Amino acid sequence: MRILVIEDDDTTATYIQKGLSEHGHVVERSRDGRDGLFQATSGKYDALIVDRMLPGLDGLAVIQALRAARVDTPVLILSALAHLDDRVKGLKAGGDDYLTKPFAFAELSARLEAIMRRRAPAAVETTLTVGDLEMDLLARKVSRAGRSIELQPREFRLLEYLMRHHGQVVTRTMLLESVWDYHFDPQTNVIDVHVSRLRQKIDKGFDRPLLHTARGAGYVLRAE
């Protein structure tokens, strides 16, 4: 990770830089709030460690300015102010965590990793699986037990919705809104027709059906 430390105390800054560098991070330092704010707005850092009391511009003012500028880099606040009100002010200013001085490097490192995990983007789902039925969302392909299944675009959307809600009863209203983008009942058998076609394609020729009718309620996709 590339980390910016905004800290005016040389002893504290050196201690942090040495420890983080030993962990393989690239560390830069700023000695006052104004310069630190300028550096942080570049957006090239994965995390910021900001001292609460800084010359030039207070640490909380630095964080507030960053958040106002839509810079969402995770921030760990360091401060000798340990009262509850001080911690609350730090978090409300836009800090992701608050660590009081003196501190152990192991705790600083752990808290830094924690705020990075919280800000990490969620993994993109590319494959859906229910029993031996598999859908590749990127390639737009479906197979069951290794056998390729050809689906029309609407059938693909219908199956994707059922797979994302597998094990749950999906109502006609849910399907109309999510698959057909209807927010009213068109009074047709469009769902029944598509479900019937889909059932033929994913269940015919296999020992166990996956797509079931929940009488009076809707449909459910599940592996028995």
User: pLDDT, tens digit, for every residue of 97-146?
Assistant: 999 999 999 999 999 999 988 876 656 678 999 999 999 998 999 999 99
Q: Are residues 16 and 86 in the same domain?
A: yes
Task: Give me the CATH number covering residue 150.
Answer: 1.10.10.10
Q: Are residues 44 and 115 in the same domain?
A: yes
C-alpha 97/C-alpha 73 separation (Å) is 12
Please report the pLDDT score of residue 37 as a whole number: 95
Q: Are residues 131 and 113 in the same domain?
A: no
Q: What is the DSSP string of the chain?
A: -EEEEE-S-HHHHHHHHHHHHHTT-EEEEESSHHHHHHHHTT---SEEEEESS-SSS-HHHHHHHHHHTT----EEEEES--SHHHHHHHHHTT-SEEEESS--HHHHHHHHHHHHHHHSPPPPP-EEEETTEEEETTTTEEEETTEEE---HHHHHHHHHHHHTTTS-EEHHHHHHHTS--SS---SSHHHHHHHHHHHHHHTTSSS--EEEETTTEEEE---
Task: Give me the CATH number covering residue 14.
Answer: 3.40.50.2300
Please report the pLDDT score of residue 109 as a whole number: 93
pTM beyond 0.75, yes or no: no
Looking at 66, 86, 119, the residue that finishes a domain is 119
Please report the pLDDT score of residue 19 as a whole number: 93
Domains: count for the chain: 2
Q: Are residues 13 and 99 in the same domain?
A: yes
Residues (pLDDT < 50) of the chain are none
Please report the pLDDT score of residue 118 as a whole number: 81
Q: Are residues 192 and 114 in the same domain?
A: no
Domain that holds residue 206: 127-221
- Peptide bond before 102: cis, by omega within 30 degrees of 0? yes
Looking at 95, 119, 143, the residue that finishes a domain is 119
Q: Are residues 21 and 42 in the same domain?
A: yes
Q: Are residues 54 and 152 in the same domain?
A: no
CB atoms within 10 A of CB 219: 23
Q: Are residues 168 and 209 in the same domain?
A: yes
Please report the pLDDT score of residue 224 as a whole number: 74
Please report the pLDDT score of residue 123 as a whole number: 61
Q: Are residues 55 and 149 in the same domain?
A: no
Looking at 69, 103, 119, the residue that finishes a domain is 119
Q: Are residues 211 and 192 in the same domain?
A: yes
Q: Are residues 102 and 47 in the same domain?
A: yes
Q: Are residues 14 and 98 in the same domain?
A: yes
